[in-house]
Structure 1
Amino acid sequence: MMRIDSLDDEQIRGLYATARDAGIDFFDHADIYGGEMHHCEARFADALRLSATERDEIVLQTKCGIVPAQGMFDFSYDHIVGQVEGSLAALRTDRIDVLLLHRPDALVEPDEVARAFDHLESSGKIELLKTAVRQPLVANQLQLSLTHAPIIAQPVAANMAGHDQSIGRDGGGIVDYCRIHGITVQAWSPYQSGFGGGVFLGHPDYPELNAVIERLAGVHGVTPTAIATAWITRHPAGMQVVLGTTTPHRVQEAATGVDVVLTRPEWYELFRAAGHLLP
């Protein structure tokens, strides 16, 4: 829901209806989306005005911790609790189903986070909590796409000294850690070439990759967007794909990718075509 500020209320309702019709019931927010605190959360709620029954049918995830006005991160008790209260009001709901801590706060005090989460949980305002506290770690949102995949590609080349891909940058096997501990990886920017980069689908800088994607799209009877989605969902970690699109037909295309199960040869062909080293 990061980009819905560019839509009017009717377009937001259309995007939401398309998502629900495609089987999507998980909606990702953050307090900072929209350029000012809680703006996109409020736009979502104001446009949809969900009934209690409709609210029970969906999962609302939001995030807190980034303070753009002060150029800092803040995982303190007061900030977490205050931002959740703001999200509840903006979303017009009595609970947040999933709360993520947004970016790592270098000055985090684990006891502060634990106290905030205990307070929110006991008051019924948070259903699921993700951090290293008493509550279960159940989700970790990481950037991942075919062309931006260090969390998957690095272990493949771990012993290949001298190759950039062999350098560990994810803190020691984050995907394996998540699999072992039952944490769902949520893949954001699933069609972006890299951090802040453009979409790789159809881009002239990726001719080999797009040729493979187009061919596999034809084989499976879906669109290239679906193939790019399927590459992520084929991973046995059972990842979620966080779409950033505000275009309804893109939502539909992405949703069909979940039903495509790429073969091992197909998955690895895409991996190689994306430029990743396969020793």
Structure 2
Amino acid sequence: MKDIPLHHHGILSSRLAIGCMGFGGSWDEAEPYTLEHMKQLEAVVDAALSIGINFFDHADIYTRGKAERMFGELLAAKPSLREQIFIQSKCGIQLADEALPVRYNFSKSHIVASVDGILNRLGTDYIDLLLLHRPDPLMDPEEVAEAIELLKKSGKVKHFGVSNMHSAQIEYLRSATQEPFIVNQLHLSLAHRHFLDQELLINRNEGGAVSFDPALMPYMQQQRIQIQAWGPLAQGRYTGASRPDATEADLLTARYIEQLAQQKETSKEAILLGWLMKHPAGIQPVLGTTNAARVLACQDAERQAELMTREEWWSLYAAASGTFQPVILP
């Protein structure tokens, strides 16, 4: 399989990434994480490294900072680990509290202070990549550029990117800085197919319900911006999780994925991720699991992407869309 776009920027990143949103226990800031939570994190990191995953995705808001603090404890206990891995974090979301709602903040002061907080919690001098987490309608690109320049010159951040942004927003930010934005992290999966539907349903009535920038996928491919997928395993919708909102199409797709996994002697997770990674954009799935066994179940994903036929890819898309019923063998 061809290199992912990150490799064009000289970044030796693994094809899969580990999302750390689930670590740190509850989202109650006052509730501490436990020794069991630390053991869970260590098991996931060990599992990831054992199958060649070196990329770990954070955000300053994940469990209100506890996810990064936990990871920082792990780095302190294993000092050699820092240079073996690639750490990405995000800033720009301010969570609701008693006085204020959720809001987004790309002011220079907030970005710089957020990075200082991230570095303090992780116990490191730098992060490899900083993403601006969600669009701020009040953002001033010149002010963002000043923050980027300061963080780059100080050595606190090596690379920059965005999350959940469309092409015009990225271009607006790029207009003020020479620093490239090398990542855009989006919600993509077999269950969240808007990135494909906007192409396939053009000029059709069904396309009215699709919400995705039609220029975004080709734009990112042309600009060699790494597309990262959050939620790529669809919260277990097709791999065994019990979901009260499951549709007949979901259940049939899950059975088809299970059949493909049995035929190919692999895991259901590898089939599901392989479908996403088959896309020529070189999508990098971010695995949001805290289960080490599930991390290991994903190790065959890249090979399954290479092996997956066009017919299998289209059958999975159509089954999940509810427009096709694949033959399920007894």
Is the TM-score greater than 0.5? yes
Match of 1:178 in 2: 220
- Report Cα offsets for 1:87-117 as digits up to 9, x if no partner: 0111111111010001111111101100000
Deviations 1:1-29 (A, max 9, x none): 11111352222111110111011000000
Say if 1:142 and 1:188, in contact at 8 Å, map to a contact too: yes
Q: CA deviation at 1:175?
A: 1.3
Percent identity for Structure 1 against Structure 2: 36
Aligned pairs (5 A) from 1:1-16:
1-6=20-25, 7-16=36-45
Is contact 1:151–1:173 with CA below 8 Å preserved after alignment?
A: no
Structure 2 runs not aligned, ≥5 long: 1-19, 26-35, 162-172, 325-330
Of 14, 23, 26, the residue aligned with 2:55 is 26
User: Quick one: which amino acid aligns to residue 189 of structure 1?
Assistant: G
- 1:158-173 counterparts in 2 under 5 A? 158-160=202-204, 162-163=205-206, 165=207, 169-173=211-215
Residue of structure 2 equivalent to 1:65: 92
**Residues in 2 aligned to 1:276 and 1:99: alpha-carbon distance in whole angstroms:** 38
SS of the aligned residue for 1:75 comes to coil
Q: Size of the alignment, in residue pairs?
A: 270
Segment of structure 1 superposing worse, 212-221 or 239-248 = 212-221
Distance (Å, rounded) in 2 between the aligned partners of 1:27 and 1:241: 11
- Map 1:1-279; keep pairs closer than 5 Å: 1-6=20-25, 7-34=36-63, 36=64, 38-49=65-76, 51-68=78-95, 69=97, 70=100, 71-130=102-161, 132=174, 133-160=177-204, 162-163=205-206, 165=207, 169-192=211-234, 199-202=237-240, 205=247, 206-260=250-304, 261=306, 262-275=308-321
Distance 1:224 1:154 in 2: 27
Structure 1's unaligned 5+ residue stretches are none
Which string of whole-angstrom CA distances, capped at 9 and with x for unpartnered residues, describes residues 177-223 of structure 1? 11111011110011227xxxx73433553122112101111122111
Q: 1:119 to 1:60 in 2, by over 3 A?
A: same
* Cα distance between partner residues in 2 of 1:220 and 1:101: 39
Answer whether contact 2:199 2:214 (CA < 8 A) is retained. Answer: no
- Root-mean-square deviation over aligned CA pairs: 1.8
After TM superposition, the runs of 4+ consecutive aligned structure 1 residues lying more than 3 A away are 50-53, 165-168
Further displaced range: 8-17 or 204-213: 204-213
Contact map agreement 2:104 2:134 (CA 8 A) in 1: yes
CA distance in 1 between partners of 2:127 and 2:311 (Å): 41
Of residues 150-159 and 202-211 in structure 1, the stretch that sits farther from structure 2 once superposed is 202-211
Aligned counterparts of 1:153 and 1:119: Cα–Cα separation in 2: 40
Q: Deviations over 1:112-166 (max 9, x none)?
A: 1000000000111111112523211211000011011101222012122x11x35
Deviation of the 1:61 alpha carbon: 0.3
Instruction: Give the TM-score normalised by the residue count of structure 1.
Output: 0.91
| 1:31-64 deviations in Å (ceiling 9; x for gaps) | 0001x2x221011111342655421111000000
Gap change, CA 1:12 and 1:135, over 3 Å in 2: same
